[in-house]
Structure 1
Amino acid sequence: MPDTATPFEEIIYEVDGHIATITLNAPDRLNTISGPMLDALSEALLKADKDKNVRCVILTGAGRAFCAGLNLQTATTGSGAVESAHLDLRNTPPTILFNMDTPTICAVNGGAAGYGMDTALGCDIRIMSDKAKMAAAFTKRGILPESGGTWFLPRLLGWEKACELIFTGRTLKADQCLAEGLCVKVVPHETLMDEARALAAEIAANAPMAVQASKRLMRMGLSEPFTEHVHHVFLQLLPLIKSDDAREGMMAFLEKREAKFTGK
Structure 2
Amino acid sequence: MAFLNLERDGAILTVTMNQPETRNALTGNTAVDEFVQLCDDVRKDASVKVIILTGAGPIFSSGGNVKDMKRFFDDALTPDLIREEYRQGIQRIPNALYQLDVPVICAVNGPAIGAGLDLTCMCDIRIAADNATFAESFVRVGIVPGDGGAWLLPRAVGYAKASEMAFTGEAISAAQALACGLVSRVVPADQLLAEARALAAKIAANPGAVMRMTKRLLREGQLASLASLLEMSAGFQAVAHKTADHREAVTAFIEKRAPKFQ
Output the TM-score relative to the length of structure 2: 0.91
Quote how far apart the aligned CAs of 1:191 are.
0.7
- What is the Cα-based RMSD across aligned positions, in Å? 1.9
Q: Supply the AA of the counterpart residue of 1:251.
A: T
Deviations 1:111-144 (A, max 9, x none): 1001111111100000000111111111111112
2:62 to 64, 68, 71: 68
SS at match of 2:127: strand
Quote how far apart the aligned CAs of 1:74 are.
3.3
CA distance in 1, matches of 2:174, 2:197: 19
Percentage of identical aligned residues: 38
Quote how far apart the aligned CAs of 1:195 are.
0.5
1:20–1:54 Cα contact (<8 Å) kept: yes
Report the counterpart of residue 35 of structure 1 in structure 2.
29
Q: Supply the AA of the counterpart residue of 2:30.
A: P
Quote how far apart the aligned CAs of 1:89 are.
5.0
Report the counterpart of residue 12 of structure 2 in structure 1.
19
Q: Supply the AA of the counterpart residue of 1:159.
A: Y
Quote how far apart the aligned CAs of 1:97 are.
1.1
SS at match of 1:211: helix
1:13–1:44 Cα contact (<8 Å) kept: no
Change (3 A) 1:237 1:133: same
Moved beyond 6 Å, runs of 4+: 80-83
Aligned residues, how many?
Answer: 255
Change (3 A) 1:115 1:221: same
CA distance in 1, matches of 2:260, 2:152: 35
Report the counterpart of residue 86 of structure 1 in structure 2.
85
1:217 aligns with 2:212: no
Quote how far apart the aligned CAs of 1:148 are.
2.4
1:31–1:66 Cα contact (<8 Å) kept: yes
2:128–2:174 Cα contact (<8 Å) kept: yes
1:35–1:74 Cα contact (<8 Å) kept: no
1:255 aligns with 2:249: no
Report the counterpart of residue 117 of structure 1 in structure 2.
117
Unpaired runs of 5+ in structure 1? 1-7
CA distance in 1, matches of 2:32, 2:70: 16
CA distance in 1, matches of 2:121, 2:89: 16
Quote how far apart the aligned CAs of 1:250 are.
0.6
